[in-house]
Amino acid sequence: MASRVYGAMRRLAGPALGGAALAGAAALHASGRCEPAPAAAPAKAARSDAVVPGVIGAIGKTPLLEIRSLSDATGCRIVAKAEHLNPGGSVKDRPAARIILLAEQRGDLPAGGGGTVVEGTGGNTGVGMAMVAAARGHRAVLVMPDSISKDKIALMEAMGARVVLRPAVPFDDPGHYVHTARRIAEATPGGFYGNQFESLENMNAHLFGTGPEIWEQAGGRVDGFVCAAGTGGTIAGVSHAIKERNPSARVYVIDPPGSSLASFVDDGVPAASPGTTVTEGIGIGRITANFAAARVDGAFRGSDEEAVAMMTYLLKHEGLLVGPSAALNLVGAVKLARVLGKGSTVATIICDGGERYRASVLKPGFLAKRGLAAAAEAPRARGDLSFVR
């Protein structure tokens, strides 16, 4: 699967992937593993009872939660990495810190602060970039679609970032938020473009952090891993980390409506599925360098109805308030548990919490306008996962 997917990526990626990114992805697939971390990779203290060096030292070493009601219902052990407990509230804190700290070490940003970090983001990376930039004394300029939750925008602005909103347009439009971010970085003296979609340091943050943590916390047994993808960094890094330790582990992507990744994994052609989605930061219409490097065995197609129903289910039966993308990841975990069979350990990611969706999914009337009120309001007993199709 990996070689077929990479071959299709090389034919279809076009100018979105530079030669270096393509060569790096090719080397990853040829070797079956990722390159070692740069010698100057920033050290990070493990989360513990010891004092850590500021907010950046608190990133990572998040708990691995067993979602007991899902485990009981499927006969598998379903575990989720609680990335919403990172200081910036999401899994994106990890690549944000790695990208900025390594930029300082390379001289792309001044080590003593005073630089400008520019990134195109679907939301959570922007929060992480704003937090890490502030901690390191840099300015942050964050460019994103105007459809992003107002809660996320307010949070980034509260952290001192300048937020630039762009209309949601196709990637080949020069006005796309990613292209806008690159132009701003090029025009800004001392500007640094994070390039999270194509920089393999995004993937490496999970190869050397998230993935090994999941394996160790799960007691050295992970039979399957599933998550949605936007940049592709999380699934790429974790897939390599898990498969290096258990080559027979199965890795699946769960794709929301309107995204092209499931089609790409299944058929080698990135064709968008019908519909739009209330999830944020996942699903994409092109193949990034990070996703091209992932070791993916299969794909599930998820729906907004499943994601919203899972949000309600988890709050009622687990006391977990997660975002819609995290809920879709747990829908994927149930689907993968059904594929692998009883007794398997399936891991996924709680990419963020639900508190930053108060102005969208949690706002009264928001779901009703989108025909999703019934999915949120249907009464479900513990263990009733009939909404996962």
CA 214 from centre of chain: 15
Do the domain assignments include residue 361?
Answer: yes
> Range with the lowest mean pLDDT among 116-120, 191-195, 281-285?
281-285
Output the DSSP codes for 104-136: HHHTSS-TTS--EEEEE-SSHHHHHHHHHHHHH
122 confidence band (pLDDT: 50, 70, 90): confident
Do the domain assignments include residue 203?
Answer: no
Q: What angle (nearest 5°) sits at the alpha carbon of residue 55, between those of residues 141 and 67?
A: 100
Mean pLDDT of 167-196: 95
* Same-domain pairing of 231 and 369: yes
Q: Which residue has the higher pLDDT, 359 or 260?
A: 260
- Name the token pair of 209: 């952090």
- Above pLDDT 70, what percent of the chain? 88
Mean pLDDT of 83-105: 98
Per-residue pLDDT, 6: 37
Mean pLDDT of 7-22: 38
Do the domain assignments include residue 386?
Answer: no
48 confidence band (pLDDT: 50, 70, 90): low
Do the domain assignments include residue 67?
Answer: yes
- Name the token pair of 335: 């689907």
Long-range CB pairs of 353-357, under 8 A, 24+ apart, other chains included: 353/84, 353/89, 353/321, 353/322, 353/323, 353/326, 354/311, 354/315, 354/321, 354/322, 354/323, 355/89, 355/151, 355/321, 356/89, 356/149, 356/151, 356/152, 356/155, 356/323, 357/149, 357/151, 357/323, 357/324
Packing angle, helices 304-318 and 324-340, rounded to 10? 90
Polymer length of the chain: 389
Per-residue pLDDT, 116: 98
* Same-domain pairing of 225 and 364: yes
Cα torsion angle, 14, 15, 17, 19, sign? positive
Q: Which residue has the higher pLDDT, 75 or 360?
A: 75
Per-residue pLDDT, 304: 97
* Same-domain pairing of 82 and 104: no
Long-range CB pairs of 84-87, under 8 A, 24+ apart, other chains included: 84/322, 84/323, 84/326, 84/350, 84/351, 84/352, 84/353, 86/58, 86/59, 86/60, 86/62, 86/128, 87/55, 87/58, 87/59, 87/131
Per-residue pLDDT, 28: 43
Do the domain assignments include residue 47?
Answer: no
The pTM of this model reads 0.88
Residue 358 has pLDDT above 70, yes or no: yes
Per-residue pLDDT, 168: 87
Nearest CA to 141 among 120, 166, 167?
A: 120
Residue 265 has pLDDT above 50, yes or no: yes
pLDDT in tens, 204-253: 999 999 999 999 999 999 999 999 999 999 999 999 999 999 999 999 99
Which of 163, 193, 223 terminates a domain? The answer is 193
> Range with the lowest mean pLDDT among 8-17, 70-79, 148-157, 284-293?
8-17
Residues 6+ apart with CB under 8 A from 311: 321, 322, 323, 324, 327, 354, 361, 376
Do the domain assignments include residue 30?
Answer: no
**Mean pLDDT for the chain?**
89
151 confidence band (pLDDT: 50, 70, 90): confident
* Same-domain pairing of 83 and 104: no
Mean pLDDT of 5-14: 38
Beta strand spans in the chain (E): 64-66, 77-82, 116-120, 139-145, 162-166, 191-193, 224-227, 250-255, 298-301, 345-350
Per-residue pLDDT, 123: 83
pLDDT in tens, 155-166: 999 999 999 999
* Same-domain pairing of 266 and 133: no
Rounded Cα distance between 159 and 140, Å, is 9
Do the domain assignments include residue 28?
Answer: no
CATH label of the domain that carries residue 189: 3.40.50.1100
β-pairing verdict for 64-66 and 77-82: antiparallel
- Above pLDDT 90, what percent of the chain? 81
The amino acid occupying position 283 is: G
* Same-domain pairing of 294 and 327: yes
Rounded Cα distance between 226 and 345, Å, is 11
pLDDT in tens, 328-341: 999 999 999 999 99
How many DSSP H helices and E strands does the chain contain? 17, 10
* Same-domain pairing of 239 and 120: no
148 confidence band (pLDDT: 50, 70, 90): confident
Number of domains present in the structure of the chain: 2
Mean pLDDT of 120-125: 90
End-to-end CA distance of the chain: 24
* Same-domain pairing of 331 and 229: yes
* Same-domain pairing of 69 and 127: no
10 confidence band (pLDDT: 50, 70, 90): very low
Q: Which domain holds residue 74?
A: 58-87+210-377
Which of 135, 166, 193 terminates a domain? The answer is 193
Do the domain assignments include residue 4?
Answer: no
Which of 193, 221, 252 terminates a domain? The answer is 193
Residue 377 has pLDDT above 70, yes or no: yes
β-pairing verdict for 139-145 and 162-166: parallel
256 confidence band (pLDDT: 50, 70, 90): very high
* Same-domain pairing of 71 and 216: yes
Question: Which of 44, 61, 81, 92 does the annotation list as catalytic?
Answer: 92
319 near 91, Cβ under 8 Å? no
Per-residue pLDDT, 47: 55
* Same-domain pairing of 71 and 217: yes
Residue 194 has pLDDT above 70, yes or no: yes
Assess whether 92 carries a catalytic annotation.
Answer: yes
Per-residue pLDDT, 225: 99
* Same-domain pairing of 149 and 255: no
Residue 19 has pLDDT above 90, yes or no: no
